[in-house]
Amino acid sequence: MTFVGRGVSLRDYQRLKAALDRLQSTTVATSIRQPAEGRRHRFSWINEWQERTDRDGRPVGVELILPDWFYRAVLDDALVLTIDRAYFDLTGGLERWLYRVVRKHGGRQSFGWSFDFAHLHQKSGSLSPLKHFAYDLRDIIRRQPLPGYRLAITQQVGGPELLTFVATDPTFFTPPRPRRKPSTRFGDKL
């Protein structure tokens, strides 16, 4: 709770438990990464969870049982992106969404990446008009709140405005770690 900038009051723990209930009861159906054509996979984000308490009823932890696909994805470094601790300090929904997009597409490229504003607007699913979305993007670029990235606006003559971003930490460009081999069996408690 402290790591993600949350409090540790009774209300904070109640909100955490409500969030875990939502994650367990939400189901997703997808055909992504399904080798058989026309095959759909349905899953919940969390299979089970339980709160651990001490003898006085104070919380001491939460145990989660994750779906196998999620467990395998965490063990395969190529499928998981780290998030900077400062991400949890971002207050705007657009800032958080933009950080995740930038983090995913920026990768380990020293030259960065770019998107035109209209494409980002469409990708975001924002209901605000493009001109309001662009205004909000320009404000984010002006403030530079995204940890680990430098944002800028570029535009070619007669072309659309582009959001460009590049990682600011030179150690970020070191080669990725080799994949880990699972040290536990699927279904083992961690």
- Contact (CB, 8 A) for 45 and 26: yes
pTM assigned to the model: 0.68
Q: What digits encode the pLDDT tens for the residues 74-94?
A: 777 666 778 888 988 898 899
Print pLDDT tens along the chain (190 aa).
Answer: 777 778 888 888 888 899 999 999 988 887 766 666 667 778 888 999 999 989 998 878 889 998 887 777 777 766 677 888 898 889 889 999 999 999 888 766 778 889 999 999 999 999 999 999 999 999 999 999 999 899 999 988 888 999 999 888 756 545 555 555 555 544 444 4
Query: Rounded CA gap, 84 and 80, in Å?
Result: 13
Quick: pLDDT tens for 15-46: 889 999 999 998 888 776 666 666 777 888 89
Identify the structural domains of the chain with CATH numbers, from first to last.
10-79 (no CATH), 85-173 (1.10.10)
